[in-house]
Amino acid sequence: MRILDRYLLKGFLFPFFYCLVLFSVVFTIIDSFNNLDEYIKYGSNLRIILSYYFFLLPALLVQIIPISILVAILYVLGHLNRHNEIIALKASGVSAFRILSPYLFTGILISFSILLINETVVPKTTITSTAIFDGLITKGKKNLGERAIKNVAIYGQNHHMIYARELELVNKTLHDVVILEDSPGNVMRSIARAKKAYYDDDHWVLNDVIQYQMDENGEMVGEPSVLPETTLDIPDKPQDFIREASQVEFMSARQLGEYIEKLNGAGKRLVHRLRVDFYHKVALPFVSCIILLVGAPLAMKTGRGSAVIGIGTSLFVVVLYYGIESICLALGKGGTLPPLLSAWSANIIFLFVGIYLMRKTS
């Protein structure tokens, strides 16, 4: 590494890590005050609260790294501008791209590091932090009468695909249930609809059931059976539905991809939404590199007052980026955009903007 690269990176890394610590502390303080009534109400001790924030930290860092990178690059380039060091470097024949190349390379390394952390650390620590908050801090009593999960689905262990409009967590009850049973050869054997299903004595009890039988070609056989009540003997429990309903938050991209493959061919709308989440998990780590690519050329502008303009414009670009990303994800989950395009649209748009600004700055 050349002396110039070491000098430029030294000025960047200190404010970057400073921002990470500062934003983490600020978030922890704000979140602590927001949940203070819960901590007091349920008598949570300090050790458990600290454990909760410790396991929450990896997911938090993934969110604050992009803004930390932006603030750090604005600070270091603003510092170089104020001391006319960028002008001196350009006068010595050093191009703008050469000045920014150590930062861009660092941004790429950070992006791949975030991708690795998301795949290995974040899913496990998110599950742990959620378990600590729900199980040890609130002791499962928070909003007890209102806790329900909408639109749950699970591919059961005995070739059962189960959908429900709602799962009530308190009484372990499913509403508006559809149960698809297939054979090992992926041929539909039966379809059952139930108004309600509740878990009792290690099995599911279904109320107001209509059941259709299928032949080996997947065609309906005979008249449907109408039963006021029946039992469904499957090993899946209510907590399995809870885990699957929260899968996007608690799964890595690899695990989510495997789950989508298992669901492929059943529930096209559900699979489409999950594919958007899958591609977004892959695209999210590269936000850091994209924001740096756009923010650095804007912050490099020299001249009186131009550093302030660059900072303001860069912050506006970040807000614009997340706005476009949210819109594209919503369009993707609504079926307007393909999953891959909806997840990567913001990155692609701002990648070209960053390349344009880099060319203009050089």
| DSSP per-residue codes, 123-164 | HHHHHHHHHIIIIIISTT-TTGGG-EEEEEEEE-TTSEEEEE
- pLDDT given for residue 243 in this prediction: 57
Cα separation of 197 and 258, whole Å? 28
The four Cα atoms 237, 243, 245, 250 give a dihedral, to 10 degrees, of -170
- pLDDT given for residue 327 in this prediction: 93
Cα separation of 45 and 353, whole Å? 49
DSSP state of 234: -
Q: 169 with 262: CB under 8 angstroms?
A: no
**Residue whose structure tokens are 């791209």:** 97
The four Cα atoms 86, 91, 93, 95 give a dihedral, to 10 degrees, of 30
Q: Which residues contact 72 (CB under 8 A, 6 or more apart)?
A: 12, 13, 15, 16, 18, 19
Cα separation of 89 and 96, whole Å? 9
Residue 338 to residues 146, 184, 328, 331: CA-CA distances in angstroms?
34, 31, 10, 9
**Residue whose structure tokens are 């690269």:** 5
Phi (first) and psi of residue 176, to 5 degrees: 50, 70
- pLDDT given for residue 201 in this prediction: 76
- pLDDT given for residue 78 in this prediction: 80
- pLDDT given for residue 250 in this prediction: 77
- pLDDT given for residue 303 in this prediction: 47
List helix spans (H) across the chain: 3-34, 36-41, 46-82, 85-91, 96-120, 122-131, 238-245, 247-250, 253-263, 268-283, 287-299, 306-333, 339-361
Cα separation of 99 and 121, whole Å? 34
- pLDDT given for residue 71 in this prediction: 85
Report mean pLDDT in 10-residue bins for the chain, 362 residues: 83 92 93 89 86 93 90 84 83 85 92 93 87 75 54 67 76 82 68 86 85 75 83 74 64 83 66 89 92 83 53 72 91 90 94 87 72
Q: 175 with 195: CB under 8 angstroms?
A: yes
Nearest to 238 by CA among 207, 192, 197: 197
